[in-house]
Structure 1
Amino acid sequence: METTDLNLYFSTEYENYTFDNQTFDEDFSFSPPWHHLCSGEVLCILLLTVNIMTFVFGVVGNGVVIWIAGFKMKKSVNTTWYLSLALSDFVFCASLPFNAVYMATSNWTFGHFMCKFTSFVMFLNMFSSIFLLVVISVDRCVAVMFPVWAQNQRTIRKASVVVVLAWLVSAALSVPSMIFRDVQEHMDRTRCQNSYTSSPHSHRAIATSRFVFGFLVPFLVIMVCYSVIIVKLRSNQMAKSTKPFKIMTALILTFFLCWLPYHTFVLVELNKSLPNHVINYGLQVGTSVASANSFLNPVLYVFMGNDFRRKFKSSILSKIESAMGEEGRTLSRYLSRSSSVDTRASTHI
């Protein structure tokens, strides 16, 4: 007899969901939700719409960012960061059609490999995005604290090496999602779900590690970096413009707000502190909200770069290029000015 996973509306949902360890066999008089099509579920239709929109706008928006940052703009440390973020979001958004079909039909028809791969891509996107945001925050902090060193040491080659390392660590942390993801047949339906039956303690260990390394620790590091930046700029009275940090602040806030519901309900599910159906719906909503983060980033590049009115007078490509280029130019001016200040100070000594 096999424990039934009822959280089937979205194939990148991460945890096995059970009813207080009850088991159901095919003779049990229980009507599982996968017998109902999405057309009969209001929540399912809403979440399906959100994921279709995420796919369309995410692929187009991140594709444009990749084109601009990768081929149209002069290569720099900043464009290296944002290009990597856009690539991560693009790959994930491109995998969403598989999840949308599964959500609508509650039947996985794409095989064993794609079942594992779509789950892997989701977590690869989560870890790589937050690690890159941490790297950018540390980069900003170092530039403010040690402007002369940063002026000489911030190179595209070093930034590329850091990006590769961030992706490798992200891939390593995403491997458990492939190991415990499996395709199973039940009640005339094929399901793509997590299976922790062979290692019952893995569920808690994996969920906890995702929260700690993919949310809590990065949040603390970023907050420390931004606190140092604010104190340093205010003490030097050099923070006449906040433009270099507007996009980063928006990206960080968007990431944490989008992923907070998912992590919250995963922890709640582990501790069984809410009714099962509430956890079930919470994880569905949290998963879709987390996915939406991948198409919001290009929007932030557009609307955080220059004055809002001027944006509507230029093309979409110019907006994105201006948003990313402006940050690099402003940071360079800051580094140059800081370098001059430090030079004068050393002369006086």
Structure 2
Amino acid sequence: MSAYELTRVVKIIQITLYALTIILGSAGNSMVIWTIWLRLKPNATNVWLVNLAVADLVFCISRILSVISLHLHQWPFKDLLCQVNGLVKYTTMFCSIFLLVVISADRALSIWRPLQAKGRRTVSMARVVSVGVWVVALALSMPYAINRTTDLNVNNKTKCTMETMESKRVRACLFLMRFLFGFLLPFLVIACCYALAWWGIRRSHLNRKAKILRTLVLLVLAFFLCYAPYHVLLLVKMVNKKNNWVRLGLPVAKGLSYFNSCVNPILYFCVGMDRRKTFRRSISGALRRALEDDGIAPVTKGGQTGREGVKFQNQRAKDENVNEKL
């Protein structure tokens, strides 16, 4: 296969991943927002999940500009839209990742300190945290938007890029900041929190223990598999920009990282799917069941609390009381 044909195949794969992200992400995250808004009572977890779905939804819709650019082999829009597109992309990306960190920390805390967490996990607190996450994400995204501009590539086509920056030091700092705050640190926190949650659940007597553990593993694996290739290749690009792995692999890895924005709804649906019912009958309740099946058992509008989540919290509370008496 010639270099031209290989490049063409890579572009087709990239466009396919972008299109899947837009279609599945828009539909899936809209369904999550609808399910939480209409079927579940407001609580801290649901506030964070709604904000996560909103961030992913905006990210997915904004990728339409990227698909148009790839199809036309150039950036057909104005310089201002190039910067706005970068701002939206990085703000929603950072926000989504940081909210995953918040949710994972909340789950670990709710399992190991259920009574303390219950008193502090209010809807108002969750809204304040969510606003803080959006503000931090916006602040981190500003340098990427400011340094983004249009330029001509080797084929005399207009592209939207940050590679025109004169200072290599500034460019390296932006790459490292994206690697640290967009992957490494969040992944370490998420992995540690879910490891603690795993340990706590294994010590419990929950009937759905295997299902919850499987969900936690899938969430961590999805985050790692979607983001790791992209950030590894970005680091390689800093050292050797002309590396063939970077030239061919980075576009596909970028599409894979975008795909993470539609992974969570897919996982929620698969976990909540009732195999004893038909697909049509299961789809309406699958997301609701999955969102109720996390380690903290959100309350539904029917007024019922997940009994197993309460059972585990009560058991943890009894254990703490025994330890205090000893």
**Pairwise TM-score range, normalised by the shorter structure:** 0.7 to 0.9
Map 1:39-188; keep pairs closer than 5 Å: 41-185=8-152, 188=156
Q: Is the 8 A contact 2:21 2:258 kept in 1?
A: yes
Q: CA RMSD in A?
A: 2.7
Describe the superposition over 1:51-107 as per-residue Cα deviations: whole angstroms up to 9, x where unpaired: 112211111111111111123321122212221111111001101111011101112
Map 1:1-349; keep pairs closer than 5 Å: 41-185=8-152, 188-234=156-202, 236-238=203-205, 240-242=207-209, 243-272=211-240, 275-305=242-272, 307-310=274-277, 312=279, 314-327=281-294, 328=297, 329=306, 330-343=308-321
Q: Is the 8 A contact 1:127 1:170 kept in 2?
A: yes
Q: Is the 8 A contact 2:151 2:159 kept in 1?
A: yes
The residue type equivalent to 1:247 in the other structure is T
Q: Distance in 1 between matches of 2:276 and 2:85?
A: 40
Find the counterpart in structure 1 of residue 303 from structure 2.
Answer: none
Return closer, same or farther for 1:318/1:237 CA change in 2, 3 Å cut-off: closer
Q: Is the 8 A contact 2:25 2:56 kept in 1?
A: yes
Q: Distance in 1 between matches of 2:96 and 2:213?
A: 17
TM-score, with length taken from structure 1 = 0.80
Shift of 1:317: 2.6
Q: Is the 8 A contact 2:74 2:159 kept in 1?
A: yes
Q: Is the 8 A contact 2:18 2:255 kept in 1?
A: yes
Shift of 1:245: 4.8
Three-state SS of the structure 1 residue aligned to 2:234 is helix
Q: Is the 8 A contact 2:59 2:93 kept in 1?
A: no
Q: Which has the larger radius of gyration?
A: 1
Q: Distance in 2 between matches of 1:96 and 1:189?
A: 20
Q: Distance in 1 between matches of 2:87 and 2:120?
A: 34
Three-state SS of the structure 1 residue aligned to 2:281 is coil
Q: Distance in 2 between matches of 1:206 and 1:63?
A: 32
Return closer, same or farther for 1:58/1:229 CA change in 2, 3 Å cut-off: closer
TM-score, with length taken from structure 2 = 0.85
Q: Distance in 2 between matches of 1:326 and 1:215?
A: 26
Return closer, same or farther for 1:311/1:270 CA change in 2, 3 Å cut-off: farther
Q: Is the 8 A contact 2:230 2:257 kept in 1?
A: yes
Three-state SS of the structure 2 residue aligned to 1:184 is strand
Three-state SS of the structure 1 residue aligned to 2:293 is helix
Shift of 1:200: 2.1
Q: Distance in 2 between matches of 1:110 and 1:332?
A: 53
| Worse-superposed segment, 173-182 or 219-228 | 219-228
Q: Distance in 2 between matches of 1:206 and 1:166?
A: 19
Q: Distance in 2 between matches of 1:205 and 1:281?
A: 24
The residue type equivalent to 1:282 in the other structure is G
Return closer, same or farther for 1:92/1:173 CA change in 2, 3 Å cut-off: same
Shift of 1:207: 0.7
Q: Is the 8 A contact 1:183 1:191 kept in 2?
A: yes
Q: Distance in 1 between matches of 2:263 and 2:251?
A: 19
Q: Is the 8 A contact 1:247 1:305 kept in 2?
A: no
The residue type equivalent to 1:251 in the other structure is L
What is the identity percentage for the equivalent residue pairs of Structure 1 and Structure 2? 32
Three-state SS of the structure 2 residue aligned to 1:226 is helix
Q: Which runs of 5+ in 1 are unaligned?
A: 1-32
The residue type equivalent to 1:230 in the other structure is W
Describe the superposition over 1:96-149 as per-residue Cα deviations: whole angstroms up to 9, x where unpaired: 111011101112122122211222233223322221121112112212222221
| Worse-superposed segment, 225-234 or 86-95 | 225-234
Return closer, same or farther for 1:183/1:154 CA change in 2, 3 Å cut-off: same
Three-state SS of the structure 2 residue aligned to 1:192 is strand
